[in-house]
Structure 1
Amino acid sequence: MNKNLRYAAELENLSFLDYILKENKRLENKTGLKRTIFAACPNSMAVMKAALNSAKRCNAPIKFATTLNQVDLDGGYTGFTPKQFADKIRQLAKAINLQSPVLIAIDHGGPWLKDSHRKENLNYEETLGQVKKSFEAAIDCGYDLIHVDPTIDITLPKEDTIAIKTVVERTVILIKHCEKYRLQKGLPKIAYEVGTEEVHGGLVDLSVFNEFFVLLKEGLEREGLSNVWPCFVVGKVGTDLHTTEFDAEVAKIIVGIAANYGSVIKGHYSDNVSNPEAYPKAGMGGANVGPEFTEREYEGLMELEEIEHHLFIEGQVPKMSSMKQTLWEAVISSGRWVKWLEEEENSKDFYANKLQRQEWLIKTGCRYIWQNPEVIASRAALYENLENNSIKAEQILLSHIEKAMDKYFYKFNLVDLNDLLEENILKNDLNL
């Protein structure tokens, strides 16, 4: 996982991610080629394996951006605590002798951004306290970045938007807590990502965006944190769950604003984007992709079930795994699909919604139920049925996800970046 690069970052007193972004800028100045860091949201074991395989094949850095719903002290819906997740990623990387940089991050860490905090109707102090503990756990096990995201407040009336001053105040509180904890533990520098508005896609409000930088700079300086600054700022660049067009012109504007303050823009909801090659051209520093890989995993399972069905007809399989039926029943009974409904859709009767929407809700909702016992059992039966017939089930499944990931490594100009980073270390003779 490239300890040499981590050591080089420490020598320059930089976080690992800040170091890689600095090197990206150096390479851009030298060659004119811009790069965008690719972050995968690890919502299943298959996605974790696929991301590492793809990173090895492309010889490029890979970043894992995990939400508190996915990985947290309570295990999240993946079943991993932060330490278990970090250990598993390192174990999987070692198993394939991955030499590329692997970065681990908290995505959307802030008050009420964990679904259970909203369901339990926690007050501000309660949710803040739990978020702080989650951040501490991430720092303890060597996470590289924390996305500090206090952009929602469930105590406000539904039609109200949280004040930008409040967002900044809470951002500073959380960064200050992280830095105090990190320094007390004597741990290496970590990177920060921040957001100016609640990220539900759409386009950025430029006046709010500018004000955020001014207030954040003042707030950090006031707390004696002038040496701490977020490398990533989340920018709303036209993409959301239901649109796939990246607005490069808007992106260029906010990229320029962020650059004046020493930050780069991170795009969220980059799933299935129709023009990924426009990200580096616009100067985007990073992009998160998550639900797209759940969709590809679902499609991979459907291919496997189709193979299983043919084998069953031929008498080669004694009993079908009922994979599709199990997934649909698990997602529907979980109730998690309600979170993604449009206002006019039916939250009481799943099957009252349009068939196309049902399919989408199941595909995107599978990430919440991969670890359900009945889903694990059905997948195991499916794999066994195929492998008993000399069919490589997991390899077929991972190929669906890896194909989607390879696209981002290529379109974001990341292929063989690892070699370029290593060359600079050798050139500068850092005695590693």
Structure 2
Amino acid sequence: MPQNRARGLPSGITSVCSAHPLVIEAALRHGKARDADVLIEATCNQVNQDGGYTGMTPADFRRFVEAIATKVGFHRDRLILGGDHLGPNPWKHLPADEAMSKAKVMIDAFAAAGFAKLHLDTSMACSDDPLALLDVTIAARAAQLAEVSEVRIRQSGLPAPSYIIGTEVPVPGGAVEALDHMHVTTPDDARATVDLHRQAFARLDLQAAFDRAIGVVVQPGVEFGNADVIGYRRPAAASLAASLKDMPQFVFEAHSTDYQSGEALRDLVSDGFAILKVGPWLTFALRETLYGLSSIAEVLAQGAMEEALPAAMERIMLASPAHWQKYYPGDANEQFIQRHYSFSDRIRYYWALPDAQAAVDKLLSALDGHTIPRPLISQYLGHLEPAVADGSVIPEALALLIASVSRVLDIYANAIDSAVRA
């Protein structure tokens, strides 16, 4: 990818950041249909040696994704697994030494599980750190994690991973506050990130590992919040994009690209932001379709549902508010809207809970065997009606769910293709 960029040939890939089985299935089906590689990433909070909020270790996550790949007939050699924001973040409430010790165990587990792309992110302050870490400290800690990874791959004979360095502000998952602008990483800051990490790796005799660093996480000026999206403004990022000529080893990795237009995504790739991270938009699309199907079930399968899916999810989220309460400000009505419809899509943390899985299973059972009439799709799932009308999507519940995610992935794939052809 950096080699193509250095030759003046834009290239790009979508990074699917989700642990939802239907999102992963949709991504793998999408890759199979387009004969393309698929990059799927797990964050340090989702997946770690303690299980994360998914309950999966890195080895578990690999088995989980590979089982879905087998189910849909996607070749494993086209599958790329990545670890995102790998560092002390899950344990930042601990002193730095303890948090970093746990982070080292985590990256060892990701390396041992054969993850090919490892994002080293040690930017978060731990309990005994100053609020804002020095850049040299961040780079030194990242190199310490790389050292653990390199030892593991030598011992295990595994293929050497590629590294991503740097981080983005604000934290991943979407901003909490209302948005009207976003700071763009300066060229000097991007170059400093690379130089400090190069020096930190060299101090630990990890030059060969640094040679496999291919991406730098920067802020190109895109973000989303609960109800706001800041689109990519090419002129604002022009000097940052131009700085890549000074760093031919690298491309930029752009986080929080969810809800960008196809044109904005195309311009990002053309400007060297070759790795486009997307997560909440995919589960947002899934939730939209699940809620639409719930409304359809009330019409098509009357009496089959004792509780509509939105009501079930409201009950579940109110019973366990930790994943949304501090992120959704406002009065009771505003919080209700955000719980279900926020672009930040913090409802995604609840789909794996047994009660939520049971509610979705009841919905799909109620619609099992039903071919959904086009008028109901037009009424409740209007964005999918054209695809049903032309026969490319079967009007059945599971096919519509997969199509809702694939529709977003198409925006990314078409944008990348457009940038590459230009």
Deviation at 1:96, TM superposition (A): 2.7
1:280 aligns with 2:280: no
Q: With structure 1 as the length reference, what TM-score do the two structures score?
A: 0.80
**Secondary structure of residue in 2 paired with 1:286:** strand
1:305-320 matches, within 5 Å, as 305-313=294-302, 317-320=303-306
Name the CA distance, whole Å, in 1 between partners of 2:344 and 2:221.
22
In structure 1, the residue matched to 2:18 is 42
Deviation track 1:217-264 (CA, whole Å, cap 9, x = no partner) reads 222122211122221110101112333312333544334434533111
**Secondary structure of residue in 1 paired with 2:207:** coil
Asked whether the equivalents of residues 94 and 126 of structure 2 are also in contact (C-alpha less than 8 Å), the reply is no
Amino acid across the alignment from 1:135: I
In structure 1, the residue matched to 2:378 is none
Deviation at 1:188, TM superposition (A): 1.3
1:197-276 matches, within 5 Å, as 198-200=169-171, 202-229=183-210, 230-242=213-225, 243-261=229-247, 262-274=249-261, 275-276=264-265
Amino acid across the alignment from 2:290: L
Name the CA distance, whole Å, in 2 between partners of 1:363 and 1:189.
34
1:192 alignment partner, one of 127, 145, 163: 163
Name the CA distance, whole Å, in 2 between partners of 1:183 and 1:250.
43
**Secondary structure of residue in 2 paired with 1:69:** coil
In structure 2, the residue matched to 1:423 is none
Describe the shift of the 1:209–1:69 C-alpha distance in structure 2 as closer, same or farther (beyond 3 A). Answer: same
Amino acid across the alignment from 1:409: A
Deviation track 1:159-199 (CA, whole Å, cap 9, x = no partner) reads x4221111111111111221122212222110111115544
- Identity between Structure 1 and Structure 2 (%): 22
**Secondary structure of residue in 2 paired with 1:231:** strand
2:399 alignment partner, one of 368, 378, 395: 395
Asked whether the equivalents of residues 96 and 129 of structure 2 are also in contact (C-alpha less than 8 Å), the reply is no
Name the CA distance, whole Å, in 2 between partners of 1:125 and 1:173.
12
**Secondary structure of residue in 2 paired with 1:146:** strand
Deviation at 1:134, TM superposition (A): 1.4
In structure 2, the residue matched to 1:178 is 149
1:353 aligns with 2:338: no
Asked whether the equivalents of residues 65 and 288 of structure 1 are also in contact (C-alpha less than 8 Å), the reply is no
1:145 aligns with 2:117: yes
1:323 alignment partner, one of 309, 317, 324: 309
**Secondary structure of residue in 1 paired with 2:145:** helix
Deviation track 1:132-180 (CA, whole Å, cap 9, x = no partner) reads 111111111211011100111043789x422111111111111122112
Deviation track 1:335-357 (CA, whole Å, cap 9, x = no partner) reads 2113434xxx34xxx62536654
Amino acid across the alignment from 2:318: I
In structure 1, the residue matched to 2:103 is 131
Name the CA distance, whole Å, in 1 between partners of 2:339 and 2:348.
15
Deviation at 1:109, TM superposition (A): 1.0
Asked whether the equivalents of residues 337 and 361 of structure 1 are also in contact (C-alpha less than 8 Å), the reply is no
2:59 alignment partner, one of 64, 71, 83: 83
Asked whether the equivalents of residues 234 and 267 of structure 1 are also in contact (C-alpha less than 8 Å), the reply is yes
Q: Identify the range of structure 1 (227-236 vs 99-108) with the bigger mean alpha-carbon deviation.
A: 99-108
**Secondary structure of residue in 2 paired with 1:276:** helix
Deviation track 1:92-147 (CA, whole Å, cap 9, x = no partner) reads 22333324721101111111x22xx25xx222122212211111111112110111
Deviation at 1:388, TM superposition (A): 4.2
In structure 1, the residue matched to 2:84 is 107
In structure 1, the residue matched to 2:379 is none
1:164 aligns with 2:164: no
Name the CA distance, whole Å, in 2 between partners of 1:72 and 1:95.
25
Provide the aligned length of Structure 1 versus Structure 2.
378
Describe the shift of the 1:239–1:386 C-alpha distance in structure 2 as closer, same or farther (beyond 3 A). Answer: same
State the 4+ residue runs in structure 1 displaced beyond 6 angstroms: 414-417
In structure 1, the residue matched to 2:286 is 297
In structure 2, the residue matched to 1:384 is 365
In structure 1, the residue matched to 2:409 is 405
Higher RCO (C-alpha under 8 Å, 6+ residues apart): 1
Q: Identify the range of structure 1 (166-175 vs 265-274) with the bigger mean alpha-carbon deviation.
A: 166-175
Describe the shift of the 1:407–1:194 C-alpha distance in structure 2 as closer, same or farther (beyond 3 A). Answer: same
Deviation track 1:12-59 (CA, whole Å, cap 9, x = no partner) reads xxxxxxxxx256448xx4xx6522111011231111111111111222
Q: With structure 2 as the length reference, what TM-score do the two structures score?
A: 0.82
Describe the shift of the 1:145–1:405 C-alpha distance in structure 2 as closer, same or farther (beyond 3 A). Answer: same
Deviation track 1:248-285 (CA, whole Å, cap 9, x = no partner) reads 33544334434533111000000001321111221212
Deviation track 1:34-86 (CA, whole Å, cap 9, x = no partner) reads 22111011231111111111111222221112102212223323333211211
* Aligned-residue RMSD, C-alpha: 2.6
In structure 2, the residue matched to 1:52 is 28
Amino acid across the alignment from 1:267: A
